[in-house]
């Protein structure tokens, strides 16, 4: 099946994933994580991309972001790469690209999936056995949302603010929400959409998005269409 062109929709959340080349570790020590986060903060401000959630894992990174224009997300990712890849290559005496192809992204229906994507991203280290709970892993936005440590890289989404009238209420509600975990249906939907570049949302959202963008945003049905209606 041919790959659909990358879909970027201004003012809509996007789930972004980028992996290291052939399983290469893209973060090897605390300095690497800190350096990347510094460039992420700068690039997000420069390209007007709001970062709502993130997790940096040894071999990949996950972001939940909202770009303000069609070029912002691509510009942000390219800008980070222009700084982080040379830093990494010089430090570890290597050359060439660091990434496994282009980054993958999925437009997210905020009403149905934004909070689920945030939880999925922030629990990635737990799924990989790198931490016992999201609070135990330092390289994600969970400490910010849970009130453990403020994070200048994060711009809270309005749906996070809607969790409570005060910071304490929002943090407590988010901790409770994350503690419930995600059902297998939500996990499968998120993984399928992000890895294949499909929109993540309700059928109504996908149809409205396709009409709005005036382009194909969903995979075509398998098989060749009939040139004429087949006889019964």
Contact criterion met (CB below 8 Å) for 35 and 87: yes
Q: Are strands 60-67 and 49-56 parallel, antiparallel or unpaired?
A: antiparallel
CA-based Rg of the chain, rounded to a whole angstrom?
19
Q: Examine residue 7 and state whether it is found in any structural domain, yes or no.
A: no
First CA to last CA distance, the chain: 29
φ/ψ of 89, rounded to 5, equals: -65, -40
Contact criterion met (CB below 8 Å) for 99 and 195: no
Q: Examine residue 1 and state whether it is found in any structural domain, yes or no.
A: no
Q: Examine residue 75 and state whether it is found in any structural domain, yes or no.
A: yes
Q: What is the pLDDT of residue 226?
A: 47
Beta bridge partners of 49: 67
Q: Examine residue 214 and state whether it is found in any structural domain, yes or no.
A: no
Which one, of 12, 52, 64, lies nearest residue 209 by Cα? 12
Q: Examine residue 89 and state whether it is found in any structural domain, yes or no.
A: yes
Q: Examine residue 85 and state whether it is found in any structural domain, yes or no.
A: yes
In the chain, the number of structural domains is 1
Beta strand residue intervals within 88-152, DSSP E? 104-107
Q: Is residue 171 over pLDDT 80?
A: yes
Contact criterion met (CB below 8 Å) for 180 and 90: no
Domain of 106 in residue numbering reads as 14-209
Q: Mean pLDDT throughout 1-25?
A: 85
Q: Is residue 108 over pLDDT 60?
A: yes
Contact criterion met (CB below 8 Å) for 50 and 160: no
CATH number of the domain at 161, please.
Answer: 3.30.70.1290
Q: Examine residue 78 and state whether it is found in any structural domain, yes or no.
A: yes
What is the C-alpha to C-alpha distance for residues 115 and 112, in angstroms, rounded to an integer?
A: 8
Q: How much is the pTM?
A: 0.89
What is the C-alpha to C-alpha distance for residues 18 and 23, in angstroms, rounded to an integer?
A: 11
Q: Examine residue 224 and state whether it is found in any structural domain, yes or no.
A: no
Q: Is residue 179 over pLDDT 70?
A: yes
Q: Is residue 129 over pLDDT 50?
A: yes
Q: Mean pLDDT throughout 72-82?
A: 96
Q: Mean pLDDT throughout 69-92?
A: 96
pLDDT above 90 covers a percentage of the chain that reads 73
């Amino acid at each position: 099946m041919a790959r659909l062109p990358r879909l970027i929709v201004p003012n809509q959340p996007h789930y972004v994933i980028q992996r290291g080349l052939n399983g290469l570790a893209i973060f090897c020590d605390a300095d690497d994580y800190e350096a990347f986060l510094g460039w992420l903060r700068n690039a997000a401000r420069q390209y007007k991309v709001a970062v709502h959630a993130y997790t940096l894992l040894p071999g990949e990174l996950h972001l939940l972001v909202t770009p303000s224009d069609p070029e912002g997300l691509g510009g942000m990712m390219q800008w980070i790469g222009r700084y982080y890849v040379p830093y990494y290559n010089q430090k570890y005496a290597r050359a060439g690209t660091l990434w496994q192809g282009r980054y993958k992204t999925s437009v997210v229906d905020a009403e149905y999936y934004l909070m689920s994507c945030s939880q999925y991203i922030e629990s990635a280290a737990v799924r990989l056995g790198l931490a016992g709970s999201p609070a135990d892993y330092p390289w994600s936005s969970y400490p910010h949302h849970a009130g453990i440590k403020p994070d200048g890289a994060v711009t809270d989404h309005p749906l996070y603010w809607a969790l409570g009238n005060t910071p304490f209420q929002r943090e407590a509600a988010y901790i409770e929400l994350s503690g419930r975990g995600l059902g297998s249906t939500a996990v499968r939907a998120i993984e399928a959409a992000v890895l294949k570049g499909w929109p993540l949302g309700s059928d109504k959202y996908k149809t409205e998005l396709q009409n709005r963008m005036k382009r194909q945003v969903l995979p075509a049905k398998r098989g060749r269409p009939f040139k004429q209606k087949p006889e019964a």
